[in-house]
Amino acid sequence: MEKLLNELSSQSNPSYEVKCDIENDCFIPKHLKRKSDLGLPSVAENDLLRHFTNLSRMNYALSTTFYPLGSCTMKYNPLINERIAKHEAFNSIHPYQPAETMQGVLEIMHCLERDLCEISGMDYFSLQPAAGAHGEFAGLLIIAAHFKSLKQKRTKIIVPDSAHGTNPASAAFAGFEIVPLKSEPDGSLSAQKVKEILTPETAAIMLTVPNTLGVFEKEIAEIAKVAHENGTLLYYDGANLNALMGFARPGDLGFDVMHINLHKTFSTPHGGGGPGSGPVGVKSFLEQFLPVPRVEKKNDKYVLDYKKTKSIGCVKSFFGNFPVILRAYAYVKALGGKGLKNASAQAVLNANYMLAKFKDKITVPAGSRCMHEFVLSPKAALGNGVRTLDAAKRLLDYGYYAPTVYFPLIVEEAIMIEPTETESKETLDKFIETLNKIILEESADEPQRVKDSPLNTPVARLNEVEAARNPILKWK
């Protein structure tokens, strides 16, 4: 320690010398030591407890009420998985340990990869990407590497107008040109229109199935056929996989590459932007391009294999977000194939129940049936200049987190609702009653009250335009 401190200090002050005495705590130079007490305030334990408890009440959480955020699957996640993820057996290891000292960890990763292959119909997975968009980026790099190995110059990616916003961003970041594709009135795609815009330069088509309107792509088999006939690959955005598990597999639908939002579908709380994990899966002909290292089993031992000469390389520090991987492993093993299928069935049932309650009062652009989520367009039902944003903010006064609004962009005044599989009928009924009351009654009878909302939250209504143009990035 003396040598280290003297080496560092001599670079800025050659005359400065440190003498360390561990017993007398002389690691801190004398001139930097305090000469008085800290002067911390004396606070009663009750006051301290109440302070932090009241702060916690200002946060919105699934432990308090319903979180119907469309396309984000804010569902209840078993607390047992949290305890498993925090277990000291996993938290005391380091990813740079020799592989022979963490065989259990590598076994879990290897088993989860195989489980994801079974669930999705893909042949191989890498757990390395740190988020859904990161998985998209890795998948697109794999597509680029594939065509480079074939010496084909394919520079374009087809992205529908109903796609998740990360799709065109990821494709552009990977160096591709974006070709937009207009969807049909119900948000689905026409195989004939796909065929018309395919060219020898089209590398891939990025699709979300079901799409952002909660509609299954009924022409997916034909779309896959015309794409593959053109030598074009099909990319599956796995954000909505929770609507299909146990009923259909992307690999069987014709997709070649996909990512899974592990945190959303397989049990990790991710409100506020994290934590996340976006494993990327491929068919066997693309396996050689997956990120390294790969977890492989050789002679009853698990190893990390870096010797993949055509790999796109490492896309994240270490091997993935292991706590998220661990939660997903526990979730999959606890539910099993039957349980995962039931989760999807319940998600679809809940969404269709809510849609049936809304459809006669509020416009539904994609029809009277949906998968795990649906989109309403309350423009015609709102009165006196009240907008969807106002109704969403009014929901905060009733204790509900607002659903996604103004997305997808192809629906005017859109509000997207995803009830997930974990909410009860009683919870859904109360939310339906509240949203109907705001849109159909309050917007007509008390429009200004709705426009001024939220009225009883810790933070009052913000000026979004001003906040976007002149953000205040400090707290005082």
- Concatenated DSSP letters for 118-187? HHH--SEEE---SSHHHHHHHHHHHHHHHHHHTT----EEEEETTS-THHHHHHHHTTPEEEEEPPPTTS
234 membership: H or E segment, kind and range:
strand 233-238
Dihedral class, residue 444 (left if φ above 0, else alpha if ψ from -120 to 50, else beta): alpha
Of 137, 138, 196, the closest CA to residue 168 belongs to 137
**pLDDT score, position 24:** 59
176 pLDDT band (50/70/90 cuts)? very high
Arithmetic mean of pLDDT over the chain: 91
Q: Picking from 88-97, 249-258, 339-348, 413-422, which range would have the lowest pLDDT averaged per residue?
A: 88-97
**pLDDT score, position 409:** 86
State the DSSP code for 99.
Answer: G
**pLDDT score, position 474:** 79
Of 47, 5, 72, the closest CA to residue 268 belongs to 72
Residue 121 pLDDT exceeds 90 = yes
72 membership: H or E segment, kind and range:
none
Phi, psi of 71 (to 5 degrees): 70, 5
Q: What average pLDDT does range 381-385 have in this prediction?
A: 93
3-state secondary structure of 457: coil
Of 242, 258, 435, the closest CA to residue 347 belongs to 242
